[in-house]
Amino acid sequence: MSNSKGEINVQKSLHVAVLAFPFGTHAAPLVSIVRKIAEEAPNVTFSFFSTKKSNATLFSSSDEFHLPNIKHYDVPDGLPEGYVPSGHPLEPIFRFIKAMPENYKIVVGEAVIETEKKITCFVTDAFYWFGADLADEMNAKWVPVWTAGPHALLTHFYTDLIREKFGNNKVDDVEKAKFLPGFPELEASDLPEGVIEDIDGPFGTMLHKMGQALPRATAVSINSFSTLHSIIENELNSKFKLLLNVGPFILTTPQRTISDEHDCLAWLNKHESFSVVYISFGSSIIPPPHELVALAESLEECGFPFLWAFRGNPEEQFPKGFIERTRARGKIVAWAPQMEILKHSSVGVCLTHSGWNSVLDCIVGGVPMISRPFFGDQKMNARMIESVWEIGVRVENGVLSKESILKGLELTMSSERGRFMRKNIVKLKESALEAVGENGTSAKNLNTLIQIVTR
């Protein structure tokens, strides 16, 4: 990158506002992509906006990626003073969504006054449709970042068409969404919440507005790589001014070092190639009690060694005696270095909730999946994994039963179809590595993104 005096002076006047969605696994990937951009443009000022709670997690005092040109600001969380939770887990998110356009606008204004620099570019979570209006008001660029997959993004673009075809109610699954390019197998029940169900709720409204606003963006950046699904890629390309696949983020952006405090890798070293079942439902999901029991019973019966990253309390939530009976071939840990585990030769399959970050982790690791999706884009990811990419299977009827788990394990670990899935996912892994290589599409797109944001 050229660093002439004129260019440095221009960069010193630039001010990038980064607006994060502080729930689920949205903010961390946004931080990682912004750190990459800020690293390449040390003279540009970056102001990062999220809630106090979210910022405390993202910018800890032990931060290994501290950059002097990124400063974070706390945005109010939308909860009234003395707020007493109603018990509805989504209520804090709904209250935040309702208050967020105005709250962000106020705190962005404060950052402009403090830095004495007007905003030249908004980099926002793609959810934030109002980024288009803010950018227009301030004569700035708008670069939304979509942290999920391209197929989910396309459904939000086509929400009006989907609602027209399906009606606004939950419809019979016999009706397939064949009118969507690249989705030969999609069923109504695979669609994310808010597309044809609960359309007037906070999420439905937010995602619908997002789908309508994205064509106004300077560029839409996405955590994917261009050879993953060319039909959907072409469709999105035709809808937006510029689509930039800059993923997988785990390969293109700085990643935190995850400690292996429970010696998972040493444990994996003792096992044969492709013999271990790795289980993880992400950072926030714990399956319901009857499904945990079914999973424990299946692991006991199947005979495969297993490594389970479990967020709850195993002593309380697993069947009595399960931990003792499986100690010789099972390892249950509270935290695991997932990417390193999935790259390990002994792992044969990953039982997953099919969140997009985990799907990309499995692709980069070359590990087939058994999917038990829960909400959001997870059902659609599971459908793509099974029907389009053929790199895994969904559990039958969408729930963990002893029968569905044993069948999934048999298919992925012991059958000819399982070997076919492994071949397919290794091909995708090679495509991902090629995309992030020196002349790869993601590497080139990342350079384009850096230019757009910092010029």
307-335 pLDDT, tens digit per residue, is 999 988 888 889 899 999 999 999 999 99
Handedness of CA 155, 158, 164, 168 (dihedral sign): positive
- Is residue 142 predicted with pLDDT exceeding 90? yes
pLDDT for residue 146: 97
The answer to whether residue 287 scores a pLDDT higher than 70 is yes
**Residue 61's pLDDT band (boundaries 50, 70, 90)?**
low
- Which is catalytic among the residues 26, 208, 271, 344? 26
**pLDDT at residue number 181:** 79
Q: What are the helix (H) ranges across 138-254? A: 150-157, 159-166, 202-213, 230-239, 249-252
pLDDT, tens only, 8-40:
777 788 999 999 999 988 999 999 999 999 999
Residue 364 and residue 349: Cα distance in Å, rounded? 13
Order across the sheet with 306-309: list the strands: 330-333, 306-309, 276-280, 347-352, 369-371, 392-394
Name the DSSP letter for residue 410: I
To the nearest whole percent, how much of the chain has pLDDT over 90? Answer: 75
| Distance, C-alpha 353 to centroid of its chain | 12
Following DSSP, what letter does each residue of 367-384 receive, concatenated? --EEE---STTHHHHHHI
Check: pTM over 0.85? Answer yes or no.
Answer: yes
Active site residue 26: yes
Per-residue pLDDT, 6 = 66
Strands 306-309, 276-280: pairing is parallel
* Mean pLDDT of the chain, nearest integer: 91
186 has a pLDDT exceeding 80: no
**Residues 394-423: tens digit of each pLDDT:** 999 999 999 999 999 999 999 999 999 999
Inform me whether the pLDDT recorded for 133 exceeds 50: yes
Enter the tokens of residue 51.
């809630």
Token pair recorded at residue 98: 């309702």
- Residue 194: what pLDDT? 87
Catalytic member of 15, 77, 125, 344: 125
Reduced to 3 states (helix: H, G, I; strand: E, B; else coil), residue 221 is strand
Answer yes or no: is pLDDT of 174 > 50: no
